[in-house]
Structure 1
Amino acid sequence: MRVLVVGGSGLLGRSVCRRGLGLGWSVVGTFYSGEIDVPGVEARRLDVTDRAAVRALVAQVRPDAVVGTPYRYEDWTVTADGAAHVALAAAEVGARLVHLSSDALHAGRPVPYLDDEPPTPVHAYGAAKAAAETAVRAIDPDAAVVRTSLIVGEGSKQIQLCRDALAGRATLFSDELRCPIDVTDLADAVLELVASAYAGLLNVAGPDAVSRVELGLLVAERYGLDPAGLKSTTSAASGLVRPTDVRLDSTRAAGLLRTRLRGVREVLAP
């Protein structure tokens, strides 16, 4: 298996590269501004907003499969247009495509979201992720589109945000619920999907629903930090329009995949 990991310099991309090598696969990873510090990975620089460059690279690499993980929080061209460019290039060479999406495309509600529910974005990033899904599914109906949640693990931005809040440098929301997932669990699930014929939407997230404040307290316990200094507020009090209670029901993935999706309380246990 020869797999191209677009966004291989990110937390998830590096994990997918590393785990793919562990399976004995040939792995090519792309980067833009960072680097891929995974020995054995063939690294290529790529700007996903440049459609011609994406098509040229994929045509040159000729992968059996493409994993699309790139995003930039406040950049529509990377998150939405970039996903479309990757999907188009993969389709042109007949490569299997696994596209990474996000729970951020939902608005939030008291009931968990099932796999096939339509997006209800309330902010620009959520709208960009929804647009990316629309493009990917239109270009390649056989692609697997993975909706996931907050990614935790060593080097995770979510863990660092919690550390910053515990040190008084950032603020966590008490009314935003998510289902965090360990980066290695997510990477293994993605690689299972690469080797499968699954098509369409699939929620792949942890079974534990926690608020961002609860996540901060779990981080404090895991790393022996003082929870007393944790700064918190609510989305309503902040004046920001953000998704609130967004819990993904990953029952379908749990039945489909061999990878066990661990809860964040287990992942961050001291």
Structure 2
Amino acid sequence: MRALVVGGSGFLGGEVCRRGVAAGWSVVGTCWSGAVGVPGVAVRRLDVTDREAVRRLVAEVRPDVVVATAYRTDDWTVTADGAAHVAYAAAEVGARLVHLSSDALHAGRPTPYLDDDVPTPVHPYGAAKAAAETAVRVVDPGAVLVRTSLILGEGSKQIQLCRDALAGRATLFTDELRCPVDVGDLADAVLELADSTVAGPLNVAGPEPVSRAGLGLLVARRHGIDPAGMTTATTTAAGLRRPTDVRLDSSRAVTLLRTRLRGVTELLAD
């Protein structure tokens, strides 16, 4: 299998690269300003907002599969337009496309979201992820759109946010519920999906919902930190418009995949 991981210098992209190499794949990883830093991975610089540059690289690599993980929370051109460019280039060479999406494209509701629930974004990043999905589905109906949640693991920005809040340097919201997933579990699921024919949106997240504040308490317990100094609030009190109760029902992924998606309590056990 020859794989092109767009966004290989990112947290998830780097893990996909590592596990792809370990599985015996030939892996090319792209980066913009950082470095992939994974032994055995060929590195290419790529600006996903440059449509012709994306087409040239994909035509050069001729991958069997393209894993699209690149995004920027504050940049529509990277998150939405970049995804469209990658999808178009992958389709041109007949490559299988695994597009990484997010629970951030949902607004939040009392019941869990199913795989095919229509996006209801309430902030710019969610809207960009929804637009990216639309573009990918139009360009390549056979692509799989992996809707995931907060990604945990060594070096995770989600864990660092919790540590910052425990030190009083950030705020964790009590009304934002997510289904965190381990970066290794998610990467293994991506590799499985790359070698499958699953198409359309697929929720791939942990089975255990937790609020961001609850995640902070689990991180405190895991690392032996006194949670007394943790700063919390509600999104309403903070005057923010953000997704709130966004729980993903990943039961279909559980039946399709060999990878076990572990819950947050297990991941952050003492």
Calculate the TM-score normalised by the size of structure 2.
0.99
Give the aligned partner of residue 135 of structure 1: 135
Shift of 1:148: 0.2
Gap regions ≥5 residues in structure 2 = none
Whole-angstrom CA distance in 1 between matches of 2:224 and 2:14: 27
Q: SS of the residue aligned with 2:237?
A: helix
Q: SS of the residue aligned with 1:3?
A: strand
Q: SS of the residue aligned with 2:28?
A: strand
Whole-angstrom CA distance in 2 between matches of 1:179 and 1:221: 19
Residue 203 (structure 1) aligned with residue 206 (structure 2)? no
Q: SS of the residue aligned with 2:132?
A: helix
Give the aligned partner of residue 121 of structure 1: 121
Q: SS of the residue aligned with 1:67?
A: strand
Whole-angstrom CA distance in 1 between matches of 2:18 and 2:221: 28
Q: SS of the residue aligned with 1:160?
A: helix
Aligned length: 270
Q: SS of the residue aligned with 1:192?
A: helix
Whole-angstrom CA distance in 1 between matches of 2:9 and 2:266: 26
Calculate the TM-score normalised by the size of structure 1.
0.99
Give the aligned partner of residue 188 of structure 1: 188
Give the aligned partner of residue 31 of structure 1: 31
Give the aligned partner of residue 216 of structure 2: 216
Give the aligned partner of residue 147 of structure 2: 147
Q: Deviations over 1:103-149 (max 9, x none)?
A: 00000000000000000000000000000000000000000000000
Q: Deviations over 1:125-181 (max 9, x none)?
A: 000000000000000000000000000001111000000000100000000000000
Give the aligned partner of residue 260 of structure 2: 260
Residue 166 (structure 1) aligned with residue 166 (structure 2)? yes
In structure 1, what residue type is equivalent to 2:100? L
Shift of 1:226: 1.4
Give the aligned partner of residue 102 of structure 2: 102
Give the aligned partner of residue 251 of structure 1: 251
List, as ranges, runs of 4+ consecutive aligned residues in structure 1 with deviation greater than 6 Å: none
In structure 1, what residue type is equivalent to 2:214? E
Q: Deviations over 1:14-54 (max 9, x none)?
A: 00000001110000000001111111100111000000000
- Calculate the aligned-residue CA RMSD, in Å: 0.4
Whole-angstrom CA distance in 2 between matches of 1:66 and 1:37: 19
Whole-angstrom CA distance in 2 between matches of 1:73 and 1:123: 10
In structure 2, what residue type is equivalent to 1:254? V
Whole-angstrom CA distance in 1 between matches of 2:30 and 2:221: 35
In structure 2, what residue type is equivalent to 1:124? P
Q: Deviations over 1:46-92 (max 9, x none)?
A: 00000000000000000000000000001000000000000000000
Whole-angstrom CA distance in 2 between matches of 1:100 and 1:81: 14
Whole-angstrom CA distance in 2 between matches of 1:183 and 1:262: 11
Identity of aligned residues (%): 77
Shift of 1:225: 1.3
Shift of 1:222: 1.0
